[in-house]
Amino acid sequence: MSERVLEARNIYKSFGCLEVLNGVNLTLNRGDRYILFGSNGAGKTTLVKILSTILPADSGDLTLFGKEIKRGSKDIKAGIGFMSHEPFLYNELSAWENLNFYCNLYSVKDKKKRIESLLKEVGLYYRSHDRVGSFSRGMKQRLSLARAIIHSPDVIFLDEPYAGLDIRAQDILNNLILRLNQKGKTFFFITHDIGKGFDIANRSGILSKGRIVYEVEGAEKKTFPDKYRDILKGETV
C-alpha cells in the first residue's frame, strides 16, 4: 500500500474575522499527483501555504512524512518544494547565483553538477550568468521550477503553476512532473482553471466554502467538470 506522505486534519484558518478554511481534511500518498480546484478566493493559496509550512494554521493537525508539524520544525522543510506564481528569485543575481543561494540554504551536495543539470533541463543553461531581472516571465517561472526542486524534495506543492507559462514552458513543466513522479515524488497543485493539468492528475478535489467537498480518483475523472460547475453555482447561493 502507498505510504502516507501528508495528512491534514481539521485545518482551520481565519484572517481577522474572515474564516478562510473551515476544517480541511486531506491525505496525500506517495506518488500522488493531486490537483485541487476552487474558485478565486476559495482559500486554495492559503491551504497550500499551510501544507507547505510557510503559514501556520489556526488549529488542526498536519503530519508530513509521519512527523507532526509544530512551529519551527526545520528538518521537514528539506523535503518540501514549493512553486508559486511568485518566482522567489533575486533580480540582481544571475540564474546560477540564485540556484547556488538556494543550494546553500538547503545544503545540497555536488552543487555545481546539480545546478548545471537543472538549468539544462529547464532550458536556461545558455542564460546561466545573466541577471534574472532581464528574464521574461516564462523564463522566471522555469527557473523557479528549478529552484523548487533543486534540493530533491519528496513533496512538491505548486500554486497556479501554469499562470504565465508559454506552451513550451508548460510542456517542460508537465514532463518534469511526470518524470519526477515516476521516481516516487508526490505532487500537489492548485488551480482555478479546469482545463490545464487535469490530464496529468491521478486525484482531484474541489475546495469550496473552506472545505474539500468533493474528491475523485482515476477513472471517475469524467464526471468532474460537471460536478465542479454545480459546486461553483452552489457557492453563489
Partner 1 sequence: MNAVKAIFIKELMVEFRNKQMINSYLILSLMIIASFRFAFSVIDFSLSQFASPILWISFFFGGMFSLSPIYKREIEQGTREGLLLAPISSSSIFLGKLLANLLIIFCLELFIMLIFFVFFPVGIPDIFSLITIVSIGTIGIVSLGNIISAISSNLSQSEVMLPVLLVPVLLFTVVMSSISVTSNVFAGAYLLDIMQEARFILAFDVVFIAVGYLLIDYILEN
Partner 2 sequence: MLKNNLKFAVFGLTVIFTLISIYLALIYTPSHETMGDVQRIFYFHVASAWISYLAFGITFVASLLYLKSKEYRWDTIAFSSAEIGIIFCTLGIITGALWAKSVWGVFWIWEDFKLFVTLVLWLVFIAYLALRANAKSRTSKANLSAVFSIIGFVCIPISLGANRIWQQFHPTVIVSSGGSLQASMAFALVFAVLAFTFLYISLLLIRVDTEKMKEKLEKIKQKLGGLNV
Contacts to partner 2 by CB under 8 A: 15-18
61 SS3 class: strand
75 vs 226, beta carbon nearer partner 1? 75
Question: Which is nearest to 178 in space by CA: 28, 1, 33?
Answer: 33
Question: Which is nearest to 189 in space by CA: 34, 19, 64?
Answer: 34
- Of residues 22, 93, 116, 221, which one binds partner 1 by CB under 8 A? 93
| Shortest distance in whole angstroms from residue 54 CB to partner 1 | 5
Question: Which is nearest to 103 in space by CA: 151, 42, 135, 56?
Answer: 151
Stretch that binds partner 1, among 6-14, 98-106, 175-183, 204-212 (CB under 8 A): 98-106
| Shortest distance in whole angstroms from residue 17 CB to partner 2 | 4
Query: Both ends of the chain: CA-CA distance in Å?
Result: 41
User: Taking CB under 8 A as the rule, does residue 16 contact partner 1?
Assistant: no
Q: How many residues bind partner 1 (CB under 8 A)?
A: 32
Question: Which is nearest to 80 in space by CA: 55, 104, 51?
Answer: 51
Binding residues (CB under 8 A) for partner 1: these are 49, 52-54, 56, 71-72, 74-78, 80, 82, 84, 86-93, 97, 101-102, 104-107, 131, 147
